[in-house]
Amino acid sequence: REVGHQVYTARNGLEAVDIAKASHPDLVFMDVRMPLMGGLEALGKIKAMLPETEVIIMTAYGSEETVTRAMEGGALCCIAKPFDVEKIKELLENLEWKNSCYKKTLIRDYA
């Protein structure tokens, strides 16, 4: 919110999938360990529904297996908790730049 984005909060993975389905977010920050449905399962469901939605996985349990499964499931990246708010701002700025370049390319290519 502090950097000008609409923010939704889910109490569990199932709710995260429902919110994503209803709101079609550009970006999801997903914890790995959540009740009812884990973050990696929710990642798969969100990417199947909304392949253009970027998902960043957050975890305090950053094993190589977890990171591999997240990346294979379509996560943009994994960040270890606790994380620095400046790192999140940097990720958001990079995504905004990437999306801006993509939109300019589409306009140029299809204008």
Domain that holds residue 19: 13-84
CATH number, domain of 79, equals: 3.40.50.2300
The number of distinct structural domains making up the chain is 1
Residue 75 confidence (pLDDT): 93
Please state, as a whole number, how many other Cβ atoms lie within 10 Å of the Cβ of residue 108: 8
Asked if residue 97 belongs to a domain, the reply is: no
CA neighbours closer than 13 Å in the CB half-sphere of residue 105: 6
Tens digit of each residue's pLDDT (9 = 90 or more) over 56-109: 998 887 688 888 999 999 998 888 888 888 888 888 787 775 554 444 444 445
Asked if residue 108 belongs to a domain, the reply is: no
Please state, as a whole number, how many other Cβ atoms lie within 10 Å of the Cβ of residue 9: 7
If phi > 0 it is left, if psi is from -120 to 50 it is alpha, else beta; for residue 42 that is alpha
Tens digit of each residue's pLDDT (9 = 90 or more) over 14-43: 999 999 999 999 889 999 999 999 999 999
**Predicted model pTM:** 0.77
